[in-house]
Amino acid sequence: MVKYQLAILISYLFLSVVIAARLRVCSGNSRKFCYNGKQVYLSGMNQAWKFYAHDFGNGQYSSSKVHLESTLKQIHKNGGNSIRIWLHTTSALTPRFNSTGHVVAADHCNNHIIAEMKEYLCAAERYNIVVFFVLWNGADPNWWRNFQWARQFNGLITVDSKLQSYIDNALIPIVKGLKTFSSLGGYEIINEPEGILFTAANSVACFDASRLAGSGAGFAAQHQFPNLFYMHRLQRFINWQANAIKTHDPNSLVTVGSWRENPQYNNGPSNTFNYYSDHCLIQAGGRSLGTLDFYQIHTYAWNGAYSTTSPMVPTNSASLYQLNKPLVIGEFSHVGSDGTRSLIQLVEHAYNNGYAGAWSWHALGLYHHSDPLSPQLLALDAIRWRPFVRLVLGVVNINCRNPTIGIFDIRRDRFPVQGRPVRNQCSLFTRGR
């Protein structure tokens, strides 16, 4: 019996370490994505969330599961291949902090968030969709009004030991736990960090945010300095986390989504600069692996018009920004456009003009600048048969047989307790309490 159990364990271990192909930057074209050696265009949308900041961790996924997995199914049905979804946002529910503001775990429930993210990735694998998890949100206009959230989030950006505690006790366990999934595209360190940026001058070019003064940067904190951060602190925040991800999962792609094109622009007008270049991020954080794999710009019209340098201006192609990595239009919508073209036409513009992908905003279809889900699906369907859009993922992760459980425990011929759902330990942290 022991030999039989040992054989099962060895087989399980072998299957678990089979490395499935992952999405990556093409070796022969640094501005495009490839999967299994074939070019891929990222056609998809933002899920963003079902319950803001409450979709993963502490057993919360069970409340969001039906909606989130239905979105994956509908994207697949309409020919899409990718999705962007948010995780901690501003620390409202996860990770877990102690009384000094240091992170001690990824959630309040023995890092159960990892099992929940695995379950979502398993669903994504079934539908041939690659997932990008957005760790943090710099565009939330309410974060600084909650004292606890503000203290926690502020600490991660301004105190090195607190950021390192998050990396050690939450981020690295997450990254290690998910790295075998072919449906994992990667991680976005922070959505629209410019929302909490203090546009201060600095003698160091990479840290001089005065170029963005008057552009709208600082919008999430109503431009009030106590709730804003210097550019070099935000760059360090990005650099350290990106470095940790690439150290423990070199196959994960890392990005940052800017609220407009100005902060991700080489050799452009005087109010632009590439603050997230390899050089700038390493200069700020000092960690050599802490760089981005692709750039990401969001674009919406203001007072009915796009900025002249917006990626959605009909004459603007990806080459305008002179970037040496793939460029994805990470947020856009018809509702938030200049109204001159349909959503399908906006999607076709992104596809035809050198961008590496485009994600419409957003699946829930609510709130500011969001199109309903139905026209977003129709827009995906409009390009589904174009070259490079179809994606078929390779080896399905063995954990997808039951993503909430762990490896066999030979001594008891069962699955270990630490890998099973632990809802009794999460009861105090469920949504709405």
Catalytic (active-site) positions:
192, 331
Nearest to 83 by CA among 404, 382, 428, 360: 360
* Euclidean distance between CA atoms 284 and 160, whole angstroms: 12
Cβ contacts of 266 within 8 Å, gap of 6 or more: 274, 277, 321, 322, 323
Sign for the pseudo-dihedral over CA of 135, 144, 195, 342: positive
Query: For the chain, what is the radius of gyration of the CA atoms?
Result: 21
Q: Which residues, including other chains, have CB under 8 Å from residue 223's CB and lie 6 or more apart?
A: none
Q: Is the peptide bond before 95 cis (omega within 30 degrees of 0)?
A: yes
Output the furthest CA–CA distance in the chain (Å, rounded): 73
Nearest to 24 by CA among 14, 9, 35, 11: 35
CA gap 352, 43 in Å, rounded: 12
What distance in Å separates the CA atoms of residue 228 and residue 223, rounded to the nearest whole number?
7
The single residue listed with the structure tokens 């590439």 is: 274
The rounded Cα 36 to chain-centroid distance in angstroms is: 22
Distances (CA, A) of 34 to 22, 25, 38, 349: 9, 6, 5, 21
Per the CB < 8 A criterion, the answer to whether 31 and 356 are in contact is yes
Cα(391)–Cα(386) distance, rounded to whole angstroms?
A: 12
Contacts of 396 (CB under 8 A, 6+ apart): 20, 125, 182
